[in-house]
Amino acid sequence: MNKLLLLLLFLGSFAAFSQGNVTGNVMDSELGGPLNGANVMLSGTSNGTITDFDGNFTLNVDSNSGSVTISYVGYTQTKVPFTLKNGTANIGTIRLSPDANSLDEIIIVGTGVIDLAEGRRTPVAVSTITATEIQERVVGNVEITEALKNTPSVHVSGQSGFGDSQFYLRGFDQTNIAVLLNGQPINGMEDGRVYWSNWAGIADIASAIQVQRGLGASKLAISSVGGTTNIVMKAADRKEGGFVRFLGANDSYAKGTMAYNTGRNEKGWAFSALVDYWQAHRKWSKGTYGQGQNYFFAVGYEPNETHSFNVLLTGAPQLHGQKWSQSKENIEADPKFNQHWGYTDDGIESERQNYYHKPVANLNWDWTMSEKSELSTVLYASWGRGGGTGDRGNGRKRTEDPDGDGPLGGQIDYAAIAANNALVGVGGDYGGDNGAGYIRRSSVNNHQWYGVVSNFNHDFTENLSFNVGIDGRMYTGDHFRQVTDLYGLTGWSNDRPDDAIVTATFDATPWASLTSFADEGERIAYDYSEDINYIGGFGQLEYALDNFSVFFQGSLSSQSYQREDRFENLTSEKVSRSGYNLKGGVSYTIEEASTIFLNGGYYSRQPYLDNIFAFNGSNADLISPEVDNEIIRSFEAGYHYRVNRFSANFNAYVTDWANRTITNINSNDNGTPGDDTDDFDQSILQRGIRQFHSGAEFDLGWRATDWLTLNTYISGGSWAYKGESNVDIYNVDTSELLSSEEGVNRDGVKVSSAPQFTTGFRAKARIMDGLSVDGNINYRAGHYEFTDPLTPASSYVPTKLHPYSISDFGLSYEFNLGGSNDLSFRGNVFNAFDYIGLQNTDAFGYYSENGRTYNASLKYIF
């Protein structure tokens, strides 16, 4: 009897401790693939298991109800409740999202050359945008810069053409923000500009974007006065699968995308490919049509645990009609006004059309040399072909009916232009009886760019690490003009040193531009090349304990410039300039959740090529006196707090930028406002400029519940000029010096590049399984109008643009089709309340915010 009782007690206790099991499937919320090896734990215990190759798991549990905690490296931890029924509970598919604070875990290649903030223990002011947000918000009729606008001290000016947006950080424009693509610098070598139209498809292949404000974590000697923006591009994916997506938007925008990954096979090979096509009647303003493609191909090879290789080729050929800045009167009369377009027999045509094709290739090699040493290298190349069209001559005609388009009148009348050109015959003689006629020309910018970035990392001890590396670049840019359309002229003359009549025309399309462009004998206006060679070395030493870290970093670079003017048969002397930067910092962790830090830096930065030579590209003479290096001093302090689902960051900064040179080109109405037939471009050269930027930033993130995430930020700054500057103004076409003034007092004049106060709020909520909604509101104020550089401080009256706010909303729904297949819907409304007003001002004039736009997409993941 006692033995039977003991047996019953044993079986009862066994049943008590083995109530049943919980099953489920763990998936990647972005790509839809299974997460193999994810940890599944019974919450509050050490009882756990891991998912299999397909993401499935079975966990034995000893209670009828409770919760399981699911985690995976680089993803946000999730807790899911369960209740057993008949001894089992299937909690379905659990989708984990990447954790922005573990961004380094998603880097597949280039681990040593992609300078992420997580790669250094001493903090920086940083914000990260994950692939989920990028895919939700900026795939379609908006540029990738839109993903950055919920970041402190960031201002994004949408402009009006596809790919024409501008991005500002702490009051500095894109020429002074280092933009890196998988560790590869993409700012223009000649002027530091970033043309987002060249990267129209980057949102489809971006794994994340990290905005490092101020000094940042980059080790390169680059133009990071305002900060560094790292775009992390996907590599050959290790998981098999793909997707098909169709997207539609306002004004007949349509886009189709296909992607497929083979996954890594047993021999270590993986292949990924993506292609898409898009087109639109316009972006929002009139005459801003667009069309383009995007292609991406990557091959990965991991022969063993020591070496990893990845080869990548991508490009985004595109063309789009442009809308240049406007006067206040034009915007007030019709916000969609655009003076550059008209109708031809083939449809809408714009005299201002951008077209470009920039294939980019790179090879990444990561070598784990030992447990303490790693070498990471990227070799890259790009071949840009294309340019922008514009008018030449004085025969522009417009329709009589203004059609509500503002003071300049109606659209361009191409039929009237052709009729007048028939009377002219050979165009180009500005003194002819019927004028010079009218042509559309292309300003071509073809370039070849080759580079290498390599970084060696060694951990001397657990606390002391060392980095050293090189950054080398070779660049050649060919610049000339060619005829795109003659509109009935029999030729074009008086625009070459040999007075030859040019009759050849060339399509302003991205694919044609790869191989079809003017020979030297067919080029007009100017024809020159520029060579830039750059070599730099960098190093960093960091000592870090559990609660304390200190680092020192330095770089030294040499850059040479040379220009060849083929029209004048002149080659400039080769100019070489050295530069360097020094950065250091210290941090202290008060407790596990709280860290304070202080960073400082000193830059001696070489001027851009455009500030080395005379303003006119066809001139091989140096600017006299020569332009010296710019000097940047910067300090920042911050406090970061992070615990569980809550994070808060505070940063303060001061940047003193001396001996700056600025070259702007704008339009001069030649004393005849309202008549654009005799307008000309003028170049404004400002030297000896000093800017002083100071400000503070605060941002907060809170995952309030499993279904609600809240983010907010606020930033304010004081950005003004100091001291005096010299100003020269030239006629671009004739090289005539129009005016020159030295010692213009600019002390206290406000920097007009961006709003000096920004704040915003963003929320995302999961309403039910598969359905989520999100929205944000961003407020901008303290934005000063552009001030003529000849205006002295004594007569300066600060004028602000009107403050404004923009609200965006989105909705996502995932249809569960079972297995690893998934169908999702995404809809966005941008500027939901249809605010239309001035949002930016520069030397060209005014820009208005686009009105309400929208898009919607269906994506099938397999």
Q: What Å distances lie between residue 811 and 342, 625, 851, CA to CA? A: 37, 58, 20
- pLDDT per position as a tens digit, 404-419: 444 556 789 999 999 9
For residue 4, being part of any structural domain is answered with: no
Q: What is the pLDDT of residue 617?
A: 53
Same domain, 284 and 268: yes
Q: What is the pLDDT of residue 191?
A: 87
Q: What is the pLDDT of residue 614?
A: 63
User: Domain containing 560: what range?
Assistant: 241-861
For residue 845, being part of any structural domain is answered with: yes
From 32, 62, 96, the end of a domain falls on 96
Q: What is the pLDDT of residue 843?
A: 67
Same domain, 662 and 591: yes
pLDDT at 598 over 70: yes
Q: What is the pLDDT of residue 619?
A: 61
Tokens standing for residue 313: 């080729």
Q: Using alpha carbons, select from 545, 407, 536, 537 the residue that is nearest to residue 474.
A: 536
Same domain, 264 and 143: no
Tokens standing for residue 288: 């801003």
Same domain, 43 and 140: no
From 188, 204, 233, the end of a domain falls on 233
Is residue 579 within 8 Å of residue 538, measured between CB atoms? no
Same domain, 652 and 739: yes
Same domain, 533 and 660: yes
Kindly report the backbone phi and psi dihedral angles of residue 33, in degrees, each rounded to the nearest multiple of 5, phi listed first.
-80, 160
Given the structure tokens 């809240």, which residue do they identify? 710
* CATH number for position 229: 2.170.130.10
Q: Any idea what the Cα angle at residue 838 is, between residues 832 and 843, rounded to 5°?
A: 140
Higher pLDDT, 77 or 729: 729
DSSP 75: B
State how far the Cα of 859 lies from the Cα of 862, in Å rounded to an integer: 10
Tokens standing for residue 168: 């500002």
Q: What is the pLDDT of residue 10?
A: 43
Q: What Å distances lie between residue 299 and 238, 241, 263, 264, 453, CA to CA? A: 11, 15, 10, 10, 20
Given the structure tokens 């990071």, which residue do they identify? 224
Q: Using alpha carbons, select from 44, 51, 91, 48 the residue that is nearest to residue 75.
A: 51
Give the range with max mean pLDDT: 68-72, 206-210, 453-457, 645-649. 453-457
| Separate counts of helices (H) and strands (E) for the chain | 4, 48
Length of the chain: 862
Is residue 362 within 8 Å of residue 184, measured between CB atoms? yes
For residue 582, being part of any structural domain is answered with: yes
Q: State percent of the chain over pLDDT 90.
A: 49
Is residue 437 within 8 Å of residue 395, measured between CB atoms? yes
For residue 57, being part of any structural domain is answered with: yes
pLDDT at 484 over 80: yes
Same domain, 118 and 59: no
Other C-beta atoms closer than 10 Å to the C-beta of 576 total: 12
Q: What is the pLDDT of residue 628?
A: 87
pLDDT at 648 over 60: yes
- For 34-38, 649-653, 755-759, which range has the lowest pLDDT when averaged over its residues? 34-38
Cβ within 8 Å of residue 387, ≥6 positions away = 354, 355, 356, 442, 443, 444, 445, 508, 513
For residue 750, being part of any structural domain is answered with: yes
3-class DSSP state for residue 175? helix
* CATH number for position 83: 2.60.40.10
From 96, 112, 133, the end of a domain falls on 96
* CATH number for position 267: 2.40.170.20
Q: What is the pLDDT of residue 8?
A: 43
For residue 8, being part of any structural domain is answered with: no
Q: How many independent structural domains does the chain possess?
A: 3
Q: What is the pLDDT of residue 435?
A: 84
pLDDT at 530 over 50: yes
DSSP 363-414: EEEEEE-SSSEEEEEEEEEEEEEEEEEEEEES---B-S--TT--TT-S-EEH
Same domain, 400 and 511: yes
Q: What is the pLDDT of residue 676?
A: 61
Find the helix or strand (DSSP H, E) in which 209 lies: strand 206-213
pLDDT, mean of residues 796-805: 91
Higher pLDDT, 11 or 504: 504
State how far the Cα of 679 lies from the Cα of 394, in Å rounded to an integer: 9
Same domain, 523 and 388: yes
pLDDT at 326 over 90: no
pLDDT, mean of residues 564-586: 91
Same domain, 388 and 402: yes
For residue 152, being part of any structural domain is answered with: yes
- Tell me whether the omega of the peptide bond preceding residue 789 falls within 30 degrees of 0, making it cis: no
Q: What is the pLDDT of residue 728?
A: 82
- pLDDT per position as a tens digit, 26-77: 887 655 567 766 789 888 777 888 887 678 899 988 888 888 988 765 567 7
Q: What is the pLDDT of residue 618?
A: 55
Same domain, 69 and 114: no
- Surface-to-core class of residue 349, CB atoms within 10 Å of its CB (0-12 exposed, 13-18 middle, 19+ buried): buried
Is residue 182 within 8 Å of residue 233, measured between CB atoms? yes
**Band (738; pLDDT cuts 50, 70, 90):** confident
pLDDT at 13 over 80: no
pLDDT, mean of residues 773-800: 91
Q: What is the mean pLDDT of the chain?
A: 86
Q: What is the pLDDT of residue 108?
A: 55
pLDDT, mean of residues 505-530: 94
Q: What is the pLDDT of residue 401?
A: 58
Same domain, 174 and 228: yes
